[in-house]
Amino acid sequence: MSTPLFPTRVAFLGLGLMGGGMARRLLDAGFALTVYNRNPAKAAPLAALGVRVAETPAAAAANAEVIISMVADDAASRSLWLGASGAITTVEPGAVVIESSTVTVAWVKELATAVAGQGGGFLDAPVTGSRIHAAAGELNFLVGGTAATLEKARPVLAAMSKTITLLGPVGSGALVKLINNFVCGVQVAALAEAIALIERGGLDRAKALEVLTGGAPGSPLVKTVAARMTTPDYTPNFHLRLMAKDLGYAIHEGAGHALKLETAAAALKVFQAGIAAGLGERDIAAIVEPMRPHGSK
């Protein structure tokens, strides 16, 4: 079997909580990196390290062998790729486009069609993991696309990841990511209500949480978020508003398959209450705050 061409020219679009750490991993791995971010200030730390900063998505994607996007939602991704000076216009034949944002299946399929029209390959490859995992190169890529396209891009993904899982054709990664996140959102909403009930019930919170986190409910997520809710520490690892977005996307995908995601809908109401309380830019752990009596610790 022939060895895939090792791609050296990489464009990275979007330098938020996740994208900034991912781009830094690519730089450290030795790729010739060009970045774009709507707010140029977020690119300044990479520019100081010698990374080329493009003024538009199209300029970033020009001549790149692999182009990766990591932005907030469908609207941001669409603007990046198909908007004014969109990256799609400079995708070269043979290049691989990777959409790592958490977006809808319909959008990734539309984007894949646009990329194919340029002669490029496409992967939807969202990730699991937090800001900390992005910075450490320990993300898990959930990939939709062909095995051949994945092999072309594998060295790039490997620089940012712990695992890379090919789940099926285009759209498979996006759907599994939304399923993953809606399950996480349900867990976080349930945990917030549990902690509020523990506190209002006058229980020893530390002992009660030891029972929960050490028993059947004690998933890695529950353990991590419980610690953040009780510290409290709401420095964003995962913005609360983005979990609400993901829950909404998951509910939409379920409806497309004649399935009502009742638990996702209930969790979404909890996250919407957090947004209404002005906590949208805080970490998902902050959804416990509207349930707490004023002044409680």
Catalytic residues: 177
In whole angstroms, give the CA distance from residue 155 to residue 9: 12
CA–CA distances in Å: residue 242 to residues 87, 108, 124, 161, 181? 24, 18, 18, 22, 10
- 227/232 Cα distance (integer angstroms): 8
Buried b (16+ CB within 10 A) or exposed e, 158-189: ebbbeebebbeebbbbbbbbbbbbbbbbbbbb
CB 212 within 8 A of CB 222: yes
